[in-house]
Amino acid sequence: TGRPRRAAAYRGGSTMIFSKLNGGDDLSAYPAAIQRALAYLRDTDIMSLELGRHELEGDDMFVNVMDMTTHPMEGSHPEVHKKYIDLMYWPEGGERIGVAPYLGTEPVFEARPEDDISLLEDVANECMLVATPGCFGIFFPWDAHRPALMLGDAPATSRKAVVKISMALLAR
Element housing 32 (H / E) = helix 32-43
CA–CA gap between residue 10 and residue 44 (Å, rounded): 27
Alpha carbons 47 and 24: distance in angstroms, whole number: 22
For 153, phi and psi rounded to 5 degrees? Answer: -90, -10
What would the pLDDT profile of 83-138 be if each residue is shown by its tens digit?
999 999 999 999 999 999 999 999 999 999 999 999 999 999 999 999 999 999 99
Paired sense of beta strands 157-166 and 61-69, if any: antiparallel
Strands 17-20 and 117-120: unpaired
Q: What is the pLDDT of residues 47-92, one digit of tens each?
A: 999 999 999 999 999 999 999 999 999 999 999 999 999 999 999 9
In this predicted structure, what is the pLDDT of residue 8? 34
Q: Does residue 113 contact residue 152 with C-beta atoms inside 8 Å?
A: no
**Torsions phi, psi for 171 (to 5 deg):** -90, -5
For residue 3, what pLDDT is reported?
30
Q: What is the pTM of this model?
A: 0.90
* DSSP-assigned beta bridge partners for residue 18: 137
Judge whether residue 1 has pLDDT over 80: no
